Structure 1
Amino acid sequence: MEWHEQRPVISIQGLGKIYTGYLQPALAPLTAAMPLGTITTVVGKSGCGKTTLLRLLARLEVPSMGDIEWPEGWEQTTMAMVFQEPRLLPWLTVRENISFAQYGDLPVRANTIERLLQELGLSSAAERLPAELSGGMVQRVAIGRALCANTPMLLMDEPFSALDYFTRRELQEELHRWQTQMEKTVLFVTHDVDEALLLGDSIICLRPDGKHKQIQNPLSWGKRRDTSCTEPLKRDILQHIGGLL
Structure 2
Amino acid sequence: MSERALVIERLNKIFTTPNERVVALREIDLQVKQGEFITVIGPSGCGKSTLLKIVAGLDVEYDGKVELNGQQIKGPSLEKGFIFQEPRLFPWLTVEKNIAGDQSLKDPKVRGKVHELIRLVKLEGFEKAYPKELSGGMAQRVSIARALLRKPDILLLDEPFGALDAFTRSHMQEVLLNIWETNKTTMIFVTHDLDEAVFLGQRVVIMNPRPGHIKSVLPIELSFPRKRSSLAFQEMRRTVLNEFEKVEEESYTVGAGI
Q: Which amino acid aligns with 2:6?
A: I
Cα pair distance change 1:194/1:54, threshold 3 Å: same
The answer to whether the aligner puts 1:10 opposite 2:11 as a matched pair is no
* Deviation string, structure 1 residues 161-211 (Cα, Å, up to 9, x no partner): 111111111110111111111010111111111111111111111111435
TM-score normalised per structure 2: 0.85
Q: Which amino acid aligns with 1:40?
A: I
Distance 1:61 1:109 in 2: 30
The answer to whether the aligner puts 1:216 opposite 2:219 as a matched pair is yes
SS state at 1:146 partner: helix
Superposition RMSD in Å: 2.4
Cα pair distance change 1:127/1:168, threshold 3 Å: same
Aligned pairs, number: 241
Cα pair distance change 1:23/1:35, threshold 3 Å: same
Residue equivalent to 2:84: 83
Residue equivalent to 2:23: 25
Cα pair distance change 1:72/1:32, threshold 3 Å: closer
TM-score normalised per structure 1: 0.89
Distance 2:181 2:34 in 1: 12
Decide whether the 8 Å contact of 1:99 with 1:113 is kept in 2.
yes
Distance 2:81 2:36 in 1: 15
Percent identity of paired positions between Structure 1 and Structure 2: 35
SS state at 1:194 partner: helix
How far apart are 1:108 and its partner, in Å? Answer: 1.5
How far apart are 1:242 and its partner, in Å? Answer: 1.0
Where do 5+ consecutive residues of structure 1 fail to align?
none
SS state at 2:205 partner: strand
SS state at 2:109 partner: helix
Matches within 5 A, 1:143-154: 143-154=144-155
Residue equivalent to 1:43: 41
Q: Which amino acid aligns with 1:229?
A: E
| Structure ranking higher in strand proportion | 2
Which segment is superposed worse, 47-56 or 96-105?
Answer: 96-105
How far apart are 1:63 and its partner, in Å? Answer: 4.3
Cα pair distance change 1:42/1:95, threshold 3 Å: same
